Structure 1
Amino acid sequence: MSEFENLRVEAGEDRVVATLTRTRARNAIDRATVEELHRLCDLLERRPRPLILTGAGGTFAAGADIAELRERRREQALAGINSRVFDRVARLPLPTVAAVDGPALGGGAELAYACDIRLATPAAVFANPEPGLGILAAAGATWRLRELVGASIAKQVLLGGYRLDAEAALRCGLVAEIVAPEELLGRAHALLDTMVRQSALALRLTKLVVDAGGAHPVADDLAQAVLFETEDKQRRMTAFLERRTR
């Protein structure tokens, strides 16, 4: 669809497939990608259909855009730039499937956590290294990952810096299946084939009931607002960007 640049959106009669295509930046989620994800949500809210979300180039999404994050301050944290769109993805009316090949890191992991079901290739890895950059995973990981895998594993990832490879993610229930890269999209479509044969209203209401309650993202935004003002955040993100350009 021509209105998208960082996403390739294929809208069919009974499903939508969206592929992150910012491959030059390993599909890092910048402000432009956030805006396109909002437009994708507009599309799916106006005409609800199941969604497959994946990434091109052997990477799901290698985090948020660090250069942009370094410049954000309290006001941007309170606006919840990433958390609001990920929450919108999570609240889409019909089921969403993240087809994860390669790294899903930081904000990329949080986008995958926001989907209803995750499929992975053997190369998939989930991690939230935000504290190493002087911030926290404030776009859903602090509560959504806990709900998905339990407090112990969530703390290992969020505090201990553990990376969940595909096998570990399968064992803890974060992913439903591990499939070969060449079979990933086919398996995601097969899963949607099962869904679209069911009652769309029943699926929609079931998702609403399952997702009822839960944490409020304001706590994430308040904590991030404090961290965005610290010198430590500036120093760590500057060091990261300087290492990358060497």
Structure 2
Amino acid sequence: MSTVTVEERDDRVVVTLKRPDARNAVNMEMIGDLHDVCALLEASPKPMLLTGSDGVFAAGADIAELAARGREEALQGFNSRLFDRVSRLPQPTVAAVDGYALGGGAELAFACDIRIASQTAVFGNPEPGLGIIAAAGACWRLAGLVGASVAKQVLLGGIRLDAERAHQLGLVADVVPAVELPGAAHKLLDRMARSSAAALRLTKLVVDSPGGHPHVDDLAQAVLFETTDKRDRMARFLDGGRAR
């Protein structure tokens, strides 16, 4: 992979966007590399930490490529299909956002389950200024994250959300100095690693389910109630230990 680096650990995969000459802009080569990452995580589910390099998460999609695309390319949804695949990964995903997350970069961060930001993080979707829409998820995913009013401020008004405002709105879980961002993100993943992988996977499925509650909740719980992991964890708790 030439546009990302992938570090596989026992309990997580760390993915770093790496196109420093283009501020980590999402191009077709990166889309292919990230599809390969998704295939890896679908075959061997682990939580993913996604971050950028050189003080930038991703400053947008590759404008030169967008300029050359027409109707047929739009209908293929190169970016939107990838970001949807990221959102549906079996285990939780965390985006550690340092610096700009704009356009397609913002949409990639929105597709992750949780975002942590550095104090310099900035989220925005300037696509209408280029004569297009934020068509890779922001037009509906951002409204789900921060509400329709704020989403319209960003998507229609061109307002950018700095780290503190994003935190106030619940778009990011925490804001830390840039040097502390990797440690804060890994601390969150450490907490996830102490949980049941099956419970995390089913919780994500239930939270993302568009409907069917409470029946989908009952089915997920029924699966977990029959696992040895659940019985062992609860036995430790009842014995006075701490579930981990």
TM-score range, shorter chain: 0.7 to 0.9
Distance 2:167 2:57 in 1: 17
Distance 1:61 1:213 in 2: 29
CA shift digits 1:203-237 (9 cap, x unpaired): 000000101128xxxxxxxxxxxxxxxxxxxxxxx
Aligned residue in 2 for 1:211: 208
Residue 144 of structure 1 aligns to a residue whose secondary structure is helix
Q: Are 1:198 and 2:178 counterparts?
A: no
Q: Structure 1 runs of 4+ off > 2 angstroms?
A: none
2:124 to 122, 127, 135: 127
Aligned residue in 2 for 1:36: 33
Aligned residue in 2 for 1:136: 133
Distance 2:178 2:76 in 1: 36
Aligned residue in 2 for 1:90: 87
5+ residue gaps, structure 2, are 212-244
5+ residue gaps, structure 1, are 215-246
Aligned residue in 1 for 2:7: 10
Residue 115 of structure 1 deviates from its aligned partner by 0.3
Residue 190 of structure 1 deviates from its aligned partner by 0.7
After superposition, residues 172-183 of structure 1 pair within 5 angstroms as 172-183=169-180
RMSD: 0.7
Aligned residue in 2 for 1:228: none
CA shift digits 1:60-109 (9 cap, x unpaired): 00000000000111111111100000000000000000000000000000
Distance 2:53 2:152 in 1: 29
Distance 1:56 1:77 in 2: 28
CA shift digits 1:43-76 (9 cap, x unpaired): 0000000000000010000000000000111111
Q: Which amino acid aligns with 1:138?
A: A
User: RCO (CA 8 Å, sep 6+): is it higher in 1 or 2?
Assistant: 1
The alignment's TM-score, normalised by the length of structure 2, stands at 0.86
The alignment's TM-score, normalised by the length of structure 1, stands at 0.85
Aligned residue in 2 for 1:62: 59
Percent identity, aligned pairs only?
66
Aligned residues: 211
Q: Which amino acid aligns with 1:186?
A: G
Q: Which amino acid aligns with 2:165?
A: A
